[in-house]
Amino acid sequence: MKYFIGNWKMFGVPKSINILNKINLFVSKDLNRSKYQVIITPPYTLIQNYAKYFKKKKISIGSQNCYQKDQFSSNTAAISSYMIKSVGAKYTLIGHSDNRAEGDNETILRDKVRFALKNNLKVVFCIGENKKEKREKKTLSVLKKQLVNVLNKKFNKRKIIVAYEPIWSIGTGELPTVSELKKTTSHIKKILKIIFNQKSPPVLYGGSVDESNIEMFKEIGEIDGFLIGGASKSYKKFIDIIRNYYR
Ligand code: PGA
């Protein structure tokens, strides 16, 4: 099963549901539809509406983040996994580099993952090195640290997806090479197998994926799907990504 996850970031108002309607229509008619799963993570303001509307359709809804406490707390503007689950979301991203940059450290991320799983959300855990770490050839060690310091074998591996997003590739149009990606993805899976006792959760790629460069990922069988930012705001681009991937 491959995953095509659209991360809307700070984008969308109620009428943006039209974008998802078009994607849903495409998926329901697509002959390849049993091979993949589409998940969209709109901002918090739209989750309840969208999750209700798409409940019996082809798109699952997730959140872009969650707070590191269980149900309710006195933290102003915080939203917990419990609250996200209660409005119908099935997934949450955790550890996106935007949120790491705003202060999400590994202790916080561990709590986020723990409480998300406890509240029955599937977790899309994001990792990735920055430009300096890549230049200094620290990519593999950085990724290892990000994985082992947050994930542990007590977590249900069937409820976890890992998304590899090199920070220098997010929103920049810069991509790793095919051989870099093969090497990095195998490394991530090797570490996940150690953490989770021989079975790795799916590993996705994210960072500047679009309808033209998706072709290059076809030859990287190790990659189990994509986390798509900018291109997920256009139904045409998002549909073309799926279409071109299976062409
Ligand atoms: P991008 O974003 O596709 O716009 O590079 C990916 C992400 O941040 O999840």
> How large is the C-alpha radius of gyration of the chain?
17
* Cβ of 229 below 6 Å from ligand 1: yes
How would you label 41-77 residue by residue, b for 16+ Cβ within 10 Å and e otherwise?
A: bbbbebbeebbebbeeebbbbbbbbbbbbeeeeeeee
Ligand 1 atom closest to the Cα of residue 210 is 3
* Cβ of 116 below 6 Å from ligand 1: no
Residues noted as catalytic: 96, 165
Percent of the chain scoring above 70 in pLDDT: 100
> What are the φ and ψ backbone dihedral angles of 196, each rounded to 5 degrees?
-105, 25
* Cβ of 97 below 6 Å from ligand 1: no
Q: Among residues 60, 67, 16, 21, which one has the least CA distance to residue 41?
A: 60
- Residue 44's region, left for phi above 0, alpha for psi from -120 to 50, else beta, is alpha
What mean pLDDT do residues 209-214 have? Answer: 98
Per-residue pLDDT, 68:
98
**Structural contact between residues 162 and 129, judged by C-beta atoms closer than 8 angstroms:** no
**Structural contact between residues 117 and 159, judged by C-beta atoms closer than 8 angstroms:** yes
Q: Partners of 60 in the beta sheet?
A: 39
d(C-alpha 29, C-alpha 212), whole Å: 22
What mean pLDDT do residues 138-156 have? Answer: 97
* Cβ of 208 below 6 Å from ligand 1: yes
Q: How confident is the model at residue 33 (pLDDT cuts 50, 70, 90)?
A: very high
Over residues 44-64, the pLDDT tens digits come to: 999 999 999 999 999 999 999
Query: What is the DSSP code string of 97-136?
Result: HHHHHTT--HHHHHHHHHHHHHTT-EEEEEE---HHHHHT
* Cβ of 128 below 6 Å from ligand 1: no
Percent of the chain scoring above 90 in pLDDT: 99
Q: Which of 93, 170, 212 to mutate to test the pocket of ligand 1 (most atoms within 8 A of CB)?
A: 170
Q: How confident is the model at residue 32 (pLDDT cuts 50, 70, 90)?
A: very high
The pTM assigned to this predicted structure is 0.98
Over residues 175-197, the pLDDT tens digits come to: 999 999 999 999 999 999 999 99
d(C-alpha 147, C-alpha 144), whole Å: 5
Tokens 């872009």 correspond to 64
Ligand 1 center to 113 CA (angstroms):
21
- Non-local (6+) Cβ contacts of 3 within 8 A are 36, 37, 39, 161, 202, 204, 224, 225, 226
Over residues 60-118, the pLDDT tens digits come to: 999 999 999 999 999 999 999 999 999 999 999 999 999 999 999 999 999 999 999 99
Give, using CA atoms, the residue closest to atom 3 of ligand 1: 229
Q: Among residues 55, 77, 51, which one has the least CA distance to residue 66?
A: 77
